[in-house]
Amino acid sequence: MFTDLALIILAYLLGSLSFGLLIARVYGGADLRRSGSGNIGATNVARLLGKTAGILTLFGDVAKGLVAVLLAQAWGHASMLPAVAALAAVLGDMFPLYYGFRGGKAVATALGVFLPTLTLPLLGGLLVWLVVVAVWRYVSAGSMLAALVVPLLAALWSYPLPLVLAAVLIALLVLYKHRENLHRLRQGREAKCF
């Protein structure tokens, strides 16, 4: 039980690492929170610092979610501990201990936590994301719709209940963190990716 709690705390602390802020320092100290969209994630990093910096941020944020869940799975639990670790990593990204609980939108971290747990539903979500971004060019809309598709497919394909519930909570959190994007989409002011 103590080790389970330690793994959940570790997942949160891993999620709290902000690769966007770290990479921004390496690339000259741009203040991501005061520039572009104000977000610390890969999309804003790419817009402000270039594609390479954005890709590095994406990989870092995916990796921290992936590692958190792989550690929980290695401990030997089928679904409950990995589901809680996934949620903890996403919460860490959104509300990081190291940065005054002001974090990102956790889309890349969610990608990382779903890779080993909800692989097929994640592929469905990625397909939706690709279509939305290719057709309408809104990364935010693609991210929100993909986040909703993952738990729907997980439930449809009878994945373990703890993983489905974690995916539902993560989708709701992603929607909450995208509330300003949703407002801009309604007003026709959301930035397109290309």
Residue by residue, pLDDT tens for the chain (194 residues) are 678 999 999 999 999 999 999 999 998 877 888 887 888 899 889 888 999 999 999 999 999 999 999 999 998 777 899 999 999 999 999 999 998 999 999 999 999 999 999 999 999 999 999 999 999 999 999 999 999 999 999 999 999 999 999 999 999 999 999 999 999 999 999 988 86
User: 113: which 2 tokens?
Assistant: 């936590």
Is the separation of the CB atoms in 107 and 41 below 8 Å? yes
Whole-Å CA distances, 105 to 37, 91, 155, 167, 189: 12, 9, 23, 15, 19
Question: 130 in helix, strand or coil?
Answer: helix
Predicted pLDDT at 29: 73
Structure tokens at 130: 């690709």
C-alpha dist (Å) from residue 97 to 16, 87, 91, 133, 190:
6, 15, 10, 32, 29
Q: Give yes or no for a contact between 44 and 27, defined as CB atoms under 8 angstroms apart.
A: no
Q: List the domain range (segments joined by +) for residue 154.
A: 2-187
Is 194 within a domain? no
Asked if residue 139 belongs to a domain, the reply is: yes
How many domains does one find in the chain? 1
Does any domain span residue 43? Answer: yes
Of 188, 181, 103, nearest to 142 (Cα)?
Answer: 181
pTM exceeds 0.75, yes or no: yes
Is 110 contained in some domain? yes
Q: For residue 14, what are the contacts with CB-CB under 8 A and spacing of at least 6? A: 64, 65, 67, 68, 89, 92
Tokens of 183: 């407002």
The answer as to whether 149 is a domain residue is yes
Q: What is the pLDDT of residue 193?
A: 81
Q: Please, are residues 181 and 114 in contact by the beta-carbon 8 Å criterion?
A: no
pLDDT of residue 128: 98
Residue 14's pLDDT is what?
98
Q: Is residue 27 part of a domain?
A: yes
